[in-house]
Amino acid sequence: MLSRLNELEKLKLELFTNGMKLTSRAKQAINEGMNIPEEIRLAHDIKNQPLTLAEFASTSGIPLRLGLSDIWVNTPIPEFNPNFVNDTSYQLEFDGDQFTLISLMSEVRVHPVPVPLYHGSVNSRGIPYTNFTVTHVDRARTSPIDGCSFSCGFCDSSLTPYSTRDVEEIISSLNVAISDPVLPARHILISGGTPRKSDYVYELEVYQRVCESFKDFDVDIMMSPRPGLLDNLEEIHDFGVNAIYMNLELFNDELAKQIIPHKADISKKYYLELLAQAAPIFGKGNVRSLLLVGLEPMEDTLNGVQALAEIGCDPILSPFRPSPKTPLSYISPSTTEQLAEVWIKSKEIVSDYSGVEMGPRCSPCHHNTLTFP
C-alpha cells in the first residue's frame, strides 16, 4: 500500500508513527521566532516562543508543512510524547536560514507552524486567553466547558475539574485569536468537553453567541450527540453554524464500551441517525465524524467509514496518539504500513458515494488527521 503514496505522504505517516527530535539549533530557532516572518518578528520583539502548545493528545506535537506541498502533519516530539518518541531517526535542524527534516535516507525542507503571539497573553482579569481558545494552524478552537462530564481512555480532559466558561471571555479570546499578528485564525471550532445536562442551555447559548459575533467566519461545532443537546439541528443551523462534527471514534461496540463508555451509552445507532438527519440540513461536506485509527481492528474502522459515507457524512481518520497522562499511554501508534492501508481503503470506500470525501476539507486542518490534499 505504501507504494501508492508519494514521498511526502509517506513522510507524514512516518512522522505520525515515529515522531522527531529537535537539534539544539532548531529549538533555539523556534524559541527566537525564526519560523515567523522577519517583519512580524521584529515589530513585536518576539522571543521565548514555546515549541508548541501541546494542549491535547492529538495536537501534542509541532505542526509542520512539508516542503512546498499542501501536506501538514502535527509531529510528536519527545518533550511531550516520551512514551513512544525515543529512537526516531527523524531530526529537525536549522541552518541559519531554513528548517530541514533530516533522516537516514532523506532531507526535506519543512516549515514549522509558530505558536500565536496571544498564547502568552492574559485578558483583563489576568486569565490566559488560552484558557478559552487555542489556535492550531489556521483554526481557533474554543471550549465552553473546562474539563469534561465524560471520561475516555485516550483523553485527559476529564482530569481537569469541570466548570463552564464565561461567554464574554470566550468571545474576547476569539477576537484576539482572529487578530493575532503571528498566526491569525481563519475559522472557528467550538468543541468539548462534553457538558452536563444542566449546562445544555448554556452550551447552546455559546453556539448562538459565537455565530452572531463572527458572522464573517465559518463556525463549526464538535460535540457528542446527547439527547436534549443536539436534537434541534435546524435551530443550530439557523444560529449560523457552518458544519457539525459528531465523532463516533470507535465502531467496535465492545471496545467502545471499554474505552469510551459514556459515548457507547449514547449508542452508535443514535449517532448515525442524528448524522443522517444533519446531512441535508448542513449540506455536503459539512457533516463529519471522526474515527480513531489503531484502537480497534482495521475492519471495524473501515466498516465505520462505510456506514458514515452511506448517510452522506464525511469520515475523518485520526491516528491514535497515546497521551502519557492516560490509561492507554502504553499502546503504540499504528505502523506506517497500517496507516497507509486504512487510508487507501477508506478512500476507495468513499469514492462510491457522491458528495462524500475523506475529511476534513481544510488542508491545514489535516495536520492531526490521516488526510491528504
Cβ–Cβ under 8 Å, residues 235 and 207? no
pTM of the model: 0.95
Query: The C-alpha cell of 291 is what?
Result: 474515527
Question: What residue segments make up the domains of the chain, in order of their start?
Answer: 2-112, 122-368
Q: 372 phi and psi, to 5 degrees?
A: -130, 155
Cβ–Cβ under 8 Å, residues 337 and 1? yes
Query: The C-alpha cell of 162 is what?
Result: 469541570
Give the three-class secondary structure for 287: strand
Looking at the chain, the whole-number percentage of residues with pLDDT higher than 70 is 100
Spatial separation of the C-alpha atoms in residues 183 and 134, rounded to whole Å: 11
Cell numbers 452511506: residue: 310
What tens digit of pLDDT does each residue of 54-86 get? 888 899 999 999 999 999 999 999 999 999 998
Q: What is the DSSP string of 105-143?
A: S-EEEEEEPPPPGGGG-B-TTS-BGGGTEEEETTEEEE-
Cell numbers 502504553: residue: 330
What tens digit of pLDDT does each residue of 35-61 get? 999 999 999 988 889 999 888 889 999
Judged by average pLDDT, the poorest of 97-111, 151-165, 186-200, 254-268 is: 151-165
Query: The C-alpha cell of 373 is what?
Result: 490534499
What mean pLDDT value characterizes the chain? 95
Task: Categorize the per-residue pLDDT at 101 as very low, low, confident or very high, splitting at 50, 70 and 90.
Answer: very high
**CATH superfamily membership of 122-368:** Aldolase class I (3.20.20.70)
Mean predicted confidence (pLDDT) in 249-273: 95
SS3 letters across 213-252: HCCCCCEEEECCCCCCCCCCHHHHHHHCCCEEECCCECCC
pLDDT for the residue 120: 86
What tens digit of pLDDT does each residue of 346-362 get? 999 999 999 999 999 99
CB neighbour burial string for 327-348, b if at least 16 within 10 angstroms, e if fewer: ebbebebbebebbbbbbeebbe
Close Cβ partners of 97 (under 8 Å, ≥ 6 residues apart): none
What tens digit of pLDDT does each residue of 237-253 get? 999 999 999 999 999 99
Q: Examine the pLDDT at 158 and tell me if it is beyond 80.
A: no
